[in-house]
Amino acid sequence: MKYDIIIVGAGTGGALAAKTTAKLGLNTLLLERKPAESVGDKVCGDAAEQRDFDQLNIALPKGDELENTIKASNLYSPDQRVCRSLSETGSAGFIINRIKFGQRLLNEARDTGLEFYDQMMVLKPKFSQGAVVGVEAKDMRTDAQKEFESNVVIDASGFHSPLRKAMTSPYIESEIEPNDYIICYREILQVGGMDWDPHCIHIFLSQEKAPGGYLWYFPESENKVNLGIGVYADPKYKVKEYYKRYCLPMAQEPIEIIHQGGGVVPVRRPLWSLVESGIMFVGDAACQVNPLHGGGIGSSMRAGIYAAETAADAIEIGDCSIDGLWAYNKRYAKDQGGNFASLDLLRIAIQRFTDDELNFGLHRGLLSNQDIMNIASGRIVRPSVLDIIGRAIRGIAKPELLLNLYFINNQINKMKDIYKAYPNRPDFERWKARVLKLYDRIRRLI
Ligand SMILES: Cc1cc2nc3c(=O)[nH]c(=O)nc-3n(C[C@H](O)[C@H](O)[C@H](O)COP(=O)(O)OP(=O)(O)OC[C@H]3O[C@@H](n4cnc5c(N)ncnc54)[C@H](O)[C@@H]3O)c2cc1C
């Protein structure tokens, strides 16, 4: 039997994609390698922004899906003396119970009547005349090999996606460079008390304590915390040792471990193209994660919906080629891709600053609360002349750092503009060259 659409992976991205295509009347098959009752069980910081739920019309987490309500996201200087808010005043978020939330999304998708096979491990795409026409899979209950065919495949199978790895397209990066992801470890701990505001999430920058990444302290209640760290994907940085040395001391005794585990987070711009003929990529498989704080729950749900809507249009007009699916690229680049690419530049810059420079820049207000918020929410940051003079005076002891910050800010603004002009069709060598030039400038500067 041939389906309209196959969705691989029933995580946050895949569940939303599947629910959307089925509701749009497409004959949908959802494949997941885990048993159904384990869907959603992912090692995660569990923080989700309310804005995503509101914008995507997803019911807010409540009851046992909701661990905690969050009023602000705080970003700290390496010495922890300066805190900048990553969220607008009044904007809120949640710490969710990942498995309960994942089960809700899966059930909502299944309630549409789509076909769902769990314990079905997708191995690779099926190609015909250069286009993806389905997938090959292994039934993990019986070890039997299976083949499924469709007009479009949506790959939402996460960072290690076997489908992306099998692509040989010039538009899709099949392998993600180690510089572009971080290795994380986190524990959920019952703790004796809390030194940090239990209704804020706390992110700590420090190249000494978390090289290439950050530490996080996300309260689930006044006595329970999701405590974790991400570092460069390089064997010389042993993530658990960093965790023990720098994270664990933040937890108040007596401590009891409720859950522990590790994972990988892509922290770069999204793939050059999120589509090829017959296939679309969503969520971690497409590197659609905020490079600054590693949040990918909201962006994967957004991408799942966008991909599903474009797939439905393409199937309706009978063009599932790269051209027919291209509208998803345009929409995502405009709404989120440009912002994530800009934050990727900032991430690369931050990774190269020393803790002293980061402390200095944040203490002296060279990067203000408003700047950080604007950058994090995708707005252009253009300081006024008075502002520039004020910062120049405050930054007088490190003029080079001040100049670097202005330069980085300019590149970030340029990246946003370039993404607004994402190509209208799969012919984008000149556009790619403009993006690469900005990366090159940032890497050469620092
Ligand atoms: C340690 C850590 C902390 C994080 N903290 C946060 C946070 O606080 N907030 C936030 O927003 N984001 C966070 N993230 C990122 C977030 O978890 C991901 O960005 C998000 O889950 C991506 O969703 P997804 O649907 O793309 O992939 P996933 O959630 O990974 O789902 C992929 C699904 O595909 C299935 N699958 C995989 N391979 C196959 C296969 N071959 N065949 C069939 N099915 C397959 C998997 O079983 C899974 O169900 C964190 C990530 C990590 C690792």
Please state which of the ranges 83-92, 171-180, 330-339, 349-358 shows the lowest mean pLDDT.
Answer: 83-92
Most ligand 1 atoms within 8 A of CB, residue of 33, 187, 281 to mutate: 33
Check whether residue 185 and residue 172 sit in a common domain.
no
Same domain, residue pair 390 and 403: yes
Task: State the pLDDT confidence band at 353, using cuts at 50, 70 and 90.
Answer: confident
Domain assignment present for residue 75? The answer is: no
Do 167 and 197 sit in the same domain of this protein? no
Residue range 46-57, pLDDT digits in tens: 999 999 999 999
Same domain for 203 and 285, yes or no, is no
310, 189: one domain: no
Which residues does ligand 1 sit against, CB inside 6 Å?
8-14, 31-34, 39, 42-48, 121-122, 156-158, 162, 184, 186, 228, 263-265, 283-285, 289, 294-298, 300
Summarize pLDDT for 226-271 with one digit per residue, the tens. Answer: 999 999 999 999 999 999 999 999 999 999 999 999 999 999 999 9
Quick one: 358 and 431 in the same domain? yes
* Residues of the domain holding 241: 179-266
Q: Using CA atoms, how far apart are residues 16 and 52, in angstroms rounded to an integer?
A: 13
Residue 51: inside a domain: no
Q: How many domains is the chain built from? A: 3
Residue 89 has pLDDT above 60, yes or no: no
- Predicted confidence at residue 173, as pLDDT, reads 96
**Could you read off the pLDDT of 200-219 as tens digits, one per residue?**
999 998 999 999 999 999 99
Q: pLDDT above 90 covers what percent of the chain?
A: 78
Looking at residue 75, its pLDDT comes to 87
pLDDT per position as a tens digit, 269-282:
999 999 999 999 99
Between 42 and 84, the more confident residue is 42
**Do 285 and 400 fall within a single domain?**
no
The ligand 1 atom at the shortest distance from the C-alpha of residue 289 is: 19
